[in-house]
Amino acid sequence: MSPRAPRRRPVAATGLLAALALAAGLAAAPPVAASATPAADPAPTADAWNEVGSDRADPLTESQGLASVEVPANSANRYTGIGTIPFDVLTRGWTHVGDPDASYDGHYIEPYQRDDGDTKMYRVQNPSGDWAEYVHRLGPDEASNNSWVALTPDGQWMLSGEWGTMDRFLVFPAPGIHPDTSPSEDLPQAATVHLDRPVRDVQGCDFQDATTLLCSSDDPEGSLFGTTKPLLQVDLAEAVDGADVDGAVTALRQLPLRSACSGEYEAQGVDYDRRTETLRVIVMSPGACVVVDSMTYRLTRD
Domains of the chain (ranges; CATH) run: 13-301 (2.120.10)
Q: How many CA atoms lie within 13 A of 170 on its CB side?
A: 25
Starting from the edge strand earliest in sequence, which strands make up the sheet with 212-217, in order? 148-151, 157-161, 165-173, 191-200, 245-254, 230-236, 212-217, 202-209
Nearest C-alpha neighbor of 93 from the set 146, 161, 150: 146
Q: How far is it, in rounded angstroms, from Cα 58 to Cα 284?
A: 9
CB-based burial of residue 113 (10 Å sphere; 0-12 exposed, 13-18 middle, 19+ buried)?
A: buried
Q: What is the dihedral of CA 71, 171, 202, 7, to 10 degrees?
A: 120
Nearest C-alpha neighbor of 249 from the set 223, 264, 231, 270: 231
Please tell me what DSSP assigns to residue 99.
Answer: B
Please count the residues of the chain: 302
**pLDDT tens per residue, the chain (302 residues)?**
433 344 444 444 444 544 444 443 433 333 333 333 334 334 333 458 999 999 999 999 999 999 999 888 888 999 999 999 999 999 999 999 999 999 999 999 999 999 999 999 999 999 999 999 999 999 999 999 999 999 999 999 999 999 999 999 999 999 999 999 999 999 999 999 999 999 999 999 999 999 999 999 999 999 999 999 999 999 999 999 999 999 999 999 999 999 999 999 999 999 999 999 999 999 999 999 999 999 999 999 98
Q: How many Å from the N-terminal Cα to the C-terminal Cα in the chain? A: 36
pLDDT of residue 71: 87
- Helix (H) / strand (E) containing 198: strand 191-200
List of residues 6+ apart from 227 with CB closer than 8 A:
39, 42, 251, 253, 254
Q: What angle do CA 207, 209, 215 make, to 5 degrees?
A: 30
Q: How far is it, in rounded angstroms, from Cα 86 to Cα 9?
A: 19
pLDDT of residue 300: 98
Beta strands 245-254; 191-200: pairing state: parallel
Q: Residue 156 in contact with residue 173, Cβ under 8 Å?
A: yes
Nearest C-alpha neighbor of 251 from the set 230, 236, 277: 230
Beta strands 278-284; 266-273: pairing state: antiparallel
Nearest C-alpha neighbor of 67 from the set 49, 84, 48: 84
pLDDT of residue 47: 57
